Chain A
Amino acid sequence: MMTVLDTARRARDRRLQAGAQYAQGKRVDRENATALLEAVIRSGDRVCLEGDNQKQADLLAVSLAAMDSNKVHDLHMVQSGVVLPEHLDVFERGIARRLDYAYSGPQSTRIAQLLFGGKIELGAVHTYLELFARYYIDLTPQVALIAAVSADRHGNLYTGPNTEDTPAIAEATAFKDGVVIAQVNEIVDTLPRVDIPGDWVNFVIESGTPFYVEPLFTRDPAAISETQILTAMLAIKGIYAPYGVARLNHGIGFNTAAIELLLPTYGERLGLKGKVASHWALNPHPTLIPAIESGWVKQIHSFGSEVGMEPYIRARSDVYFTGPDGSLRSNRAFCQVAGLYACDMFIGSTLQIDLQGNSSTVTADRVAGFGGAPNMGSDARGRRHPSKPWLQAGKEADPGGPAPLRRGRKLVVQIGETFGDRNAPMFVEHLDALKLAEKLDLDLAPVMLYGDDVTHIVTEEGIANLLLCRDADEREHAVRGVAGFTEIGRGRDAGMVQRLRTRGVIRRPEDLGIDPLDADRRLLSARSIKDLVRWSGNLYEPPSRFRNW
């Protein structure tokens, strides 16, 4: 008997045929969006709905949630972000059952409720790159619902500055007999540039309104505290300078925003310009504008764009990746790869750190995903090119090893104040993620960064260098030694901490020649959003919620 090996292609042709009744060419009216989805999607399908921590295929999300669950049900949603209410409505309404994702911000509380209530069958909480990888191995979508700025009549797509996840999703689907449906703000005669070729795209819906983009990477300098400035000073003088970190990624917190704003002031004073922070895997953070304008930054590749930064990016093409049309070309998959393999440091915040340095943003009632942090914040074991910071970190971890065979280490830095919002301690005996795993019977607790990847922890009390710890006990006391007045910090053995300090495992501000009283807001190169606009030569156009003048 002959094995039939083109069933998926035939199935796709039937789906396309079923959808064709709602289309003129590739074009489908938005009124028919739900009918199209009901015709094309089959119960049990894996569906990738585009949406991450920034851009959202919002019209398609609404249309999907409006489907009749008698017609289509038991979908397996594979998607970067669970962000919009509709992303969870599909589970509540019985349209979808299983979920594999990477990030959840505003919906983290509701996701927890649906998980506890058994409405969602959870596959795993991935890192972005890991989820994209699975689109090509065992989670290939039958249907992808994507978003672009504009399309032409052939279905070619222009994604604008927010290309983000689209190429990774569209390629996995289009080349494995899936159906690709795009929502676009408008259909035009000629595109500024082609980001997705038309022959990958089967249906195009004109939404009439721009797809939603969250300005997630905008931090108002006015909200940066003196303690955050102190942690930034410690990081710059205690890590950026001694390792000479030129290639890096920053998280989105206020501590790293403070570092960005301190480069042209404090960093300049330390003589670090040209020596550190020149090559970035980073979204277009507005708080990096003063450093860019002061000549610190050579180039930046971005996962996505940032609302209001477009005109500035266009005018600074030496720094950003831009297309022939002049606008930013972002690409989350490539930027995640860049962050993993070509950066020597990741520095970011978290909500909880345990005694071995494991960290997570999952708490008892909030199942946040991690997005890119676990990828940026992990040592790339496949890396083979040397660099000074990487080699130096490797040497600190294994001083006795033979140099030509000794792996380097990526610097993975957690930075924050010892107490967070509502005085919740950042240091805990056991991560809430463990309790959650137990409650949901998960094989793996949702840990953001594993302790054996974390190299440094920075708080207002000082820097713990975990590379220099030789056993679990030293590691625990290095953590306790920077945990301030939290229960973990107060549980320290003072003698042990003092010995670690003598060896440079723990470094206090005074050990680095930093007076905490110098942590002053006047050190910030911009102290308000308005200052950032001025620095940008009035090119930065902040979203209205950040304008207070």
Chain B
Amino acid sequence: MEHLNYHHVALSRAKGSKRQAIVGVVASGNLEVLVERTLPDTECEVNIRTAVAGFGDIWKAVVADFVERRSPGGLKLSVNDGGARPDMVALRLSQAVRAVGEQS
């Protein structure tokens, strides 16, 4: 099990007022993302637990691109990866921001 941790500065606070949300499922080729609104408005943290080692460079690029596109300020995202491909990871991260962006 590999643990990866990325901290980013986000341009703006993520929309909405929900405190937390979960999207996705833990299954082969899929992944679950827990998103919590626990950080200052300009910070974002992504924690990844993955069974597949050696993809650090790709994860780093996926997360950087995600932060730039979705501006998830104030969010801490925890990823439980079932060996998912980068396209699925990017989609689930975006879905998590949308889910927590709803009004509570």
Contacts and interface: CB of A to CB of B under 8 A. Distances in A.
A and B form one complex = yes
Interface of A: 225-227, 230, 417-420, 423, 459-460, 484-485, 490, 516-517, 519
B62 interface: yes
B39 interface: no
5 contacts: A418-B86, A423-B55, A460-B90, A484-B87, A517-B95
Given A423-B52, A517-B94, A418 B87 contact: yes
A485 B88 contact: no
Given A423-B55, A490-B61, A517 B86 contact: no
Contacts of A227: 85, 87-88, 91
B96 to A, nearest CB: 11
A460 B61 contact: no
A189 B99 CA distance: 67
Interface residues of B, number: 18
B87 A417 contact: yes
Contacts of B95: 517
A477 B61 CA distance: 18
B86 to A, nearest CB: 5
Is chain B's interface secondary structure helix, strand, loop, or mixed overall? helix
Contact of B85 (A230, A423, A519): A423
Interface in B15-34: 29
A394 to B, nearest CB: 33
A216 B62 CA distance: 34
Given A226-B88, A227-B88, A419-B86, 18 more contacts: A225-B88, A227-B85, A230-B91, A417-B85, A417-B87, A418-B87, A420-B85, A459-B87, A460-B87, A460-B91, A484-B87, A485-B62, A490-B57, A490-B61, A516-B91, A517-B94, A517-B98, A519-B91
B4 interface: no
Contact of B58 (A225, A420, A485): A485
A227 B86 CA distance: 10
Contacts of B88: 225-227
Contacts of A485: 58, 61-62, 65, 86
Nearest to B89: A485
B45 to A, nearest CB: 20
Contacts of B61: 485, 490
Given A485-B58, A485-B61, A517-B98, A226 B86 contact: no
Interface string B93-104: 011001000000
A459 B87 CA distance: 10
Contacts of A519: 91
Counting chain A CB atoms within 10 Å of each CB, the highest count among B55, B57, B86, B91 belongs to B86
A419 B52 contact: no
Nearest to A423: B85
B99 to A, nearest CB: 10
Contacts of A460: 87, 90-91
Nearest to A519: B91
Contacts of B55: 423
Contacts of B87: 227, 417-419, 459-460, 484
Interface string B32-59: 0000000000000000000010010110
A181 B95 CA distance: 60
B85 A419 contact: yes
Contacts of B91: 226-227, 230, 460, 516-517, 519
A516 B92 CA distance: 11
A516 B86 contact: no
A516 B94 contact: yes
B26 to A, nearest CB: 15
A517 to B, nearest CB: 6
B95 to A, nearest CB: 6
Contacts of A417: 85, 87
A420 B98 CA distance: 26
A230 B90 CA distance: 13
Contacts of A418: 85-87
A14 B74 CA distance: 87
A316 B31 CA distance: 41
Nearest to B92: A226
A490 B65 CA distance: 11
Contacts of B52: 423
A423 B83 CA distance: 8
Contacts of A226: 88, 91
Contacts of A517: 91, 94-95, 98
A230 B95 CA distance: 14
A268 to B, nearest CB: 24
Nearest to B88: A227
